[in-house]
Amino acid sequence: MEVTPTAPQKPRAKNTVRDWMTNPVVRVAPGTPILDAFKLMYQRDLRHLLVMEGGEIGGKLVGIVTDRDLRRPSSHDRLWSLQDMYLLEEELAVKDVMSRQVITVPPDAPVSAAAGLMIQNKIDALPVVEDGDIVVGIVTTTDLLSALVAQFLR
């Protein structure tokens, strides 16, 4: 039996959003009280939650909420005091402070395209959506910085 030597295969470069996205994503319903969302972010050390309507799996993406959104509810122009937050914790829900016009990215997009979208729109996270509306992950600035560091360490 004769063995034909083969050239060593280069490992595939991790250049797509799928390679760097976080999955599974943490999701909340639009009616989730902002205090509950804030606690969830704190407990899981997160800065972004996807807002899904119609169930945990297979739900429809209706918004994204950030830790900044929860600290500065959009229904007022002034910064809120801690006393204001306690008074309003039962009145305000995620739907009252979330961003409704969510910019998404497909999983097979290059990480450079995701970074460009984030820079252009001044945002820190993109939900990763496949087949038009199926959420498969989230890519954040931290994920993209990890991709950048990995590229320089090759």
Flag whether 10 is in a domain.
no
The answer as to whether 138 is a domain residue is yes
Residue 63 lies in a domain: yes
Residue 22: closest CA among 144, 121, 153: 144
Encode pLDDT of 9-19 as tens digits. 544 567 899 99
Task: Please check whether residue 92 lies inside any domain of the structure.
Answer: yes
Query: Which one, of 103, 105, 101, 50, lies nearest residue 74 by Cα?
Result: 101
The DSSP letter of residue 108 is T
- In the chain, DSSP assigns E strands to 27-28, 48-53, 60-66, 125-130, 134-140
Domain of residue 64 covers 17-153
DSSP, collapsed to helix, strand or coil, labels residue 59 as coil
In a domain, 8, yes or no: no
| Domain total of the chain | 1
In a domain, 68, yes or no: yes
Instruction: Supply the CATH number for residue 75's domain.
Output: 3.10.580.10
pTM: 0.78
- Asked if residue 116 is part of any domain, the answer here is yes
pLDDT per residue over 96-153, tens digit each? 889 999 999 999 999 999 999 999 999 999 999 998 788 999 999 999 998 888 877 7
